[in-house]
Homo-oligomer: A and B are copies of this chain.
């Protein structure tokens, strides 16, 4: 703690600890309340079987509809990654995985668990994707084929970063049923501002990663980038979404926090911050904006 106390939070019991939930208060606090010195994690068993599928679409909206329908059909894939045309071509340019360059989007889907459940879920995924208008569905036949597909996804950020001098990865996360709407809006924003925006994402969690490919030295384009980002987050919040799925708020998005939490929520945040860290020595200016900081993109 900022006063040098060591506090143990949580409980080894399944029912958790009573009183204020200090564990969850620290998770996502991004170092603004104190320093985590020790973490106990619960381990889960690895799945007995994994099935990896690659689903090709001629229209990105169809991929979005497939995502929402898979969830509606009670299948929870362990992986559901969306790659759009920008991503697919960047991967092919630098990695030559063998993805078709003429499709508009693909979903990389994995289901895992007990073998019977996996087969059942995979069948539902195939049916739902066909119905949503998938062009074709490929199933990885073995571990090495699976690795090739997953490797393609993992290489995405480095290959995109080669397209333009500056890559700004956003992290707008919406309810899963709203993924099709969010995809559509990102596309519309991209056209309107004439920007290069890649629409990938962990769409199975509603976690979109619009990656804005730009050049920070180009002041005119950077102004459009900032407007585009702002519009993406406005719409994300309108859809019941949130500013971040996994990257956090930090300094860069602190200015947007009030849009999600309103004045009342921000007062709550700063009351807690002040009570735990009255001297504001723990990661000041993160999450709760206290002064303007000029952000330099890498």
Contact = CB atoms under 8 A, between A and B. Distances in A.
Interface of A: 1, 5-9, 11-22, 24-25, 27-29, 33, 45, 74, 114, 116-117, 173-176, 205-207, 240-246, 248-249, 253, 257, 260-262, 264-265, 267-269, 271-276, 287-288
A274 B275 contact: yes
B18 A265 contact: no
Interface of A is mostly: loop
A92 B205 CA distance: 51
Contact of A265 (B8, B33, B271): B8
A190 to B, nearest CB: 22
A265 B16 contact: no
B28 A245 contact: no
A18 B175 contact: no
Given A15-B173, A20-B273, 10 more contacts: A7-B265, A13-B175, A14-B207, A15-B245, A18-B242, A18-B257, A21-B28, A268-B276, A272-B276, A275-B275
B287 A19 contact: yes
How many copies of this chain does the complex contain? 2
B21 A241 contact: no
A25 B24 contact: yes
A116 B24 CA distance: 36
A11 B260 CA distance: 9
B21 A25 contact: yes
Contact of A19 (B6, B206, B257): B257
Nearest to A243: B18
A15 B246 contact: yes
A115 to B, nearest CB: 11
A177 B20 CA distance: 25
A153 B265 CA distance: 44
Given A27-B21, A272-B272, A14 B114 contact: no
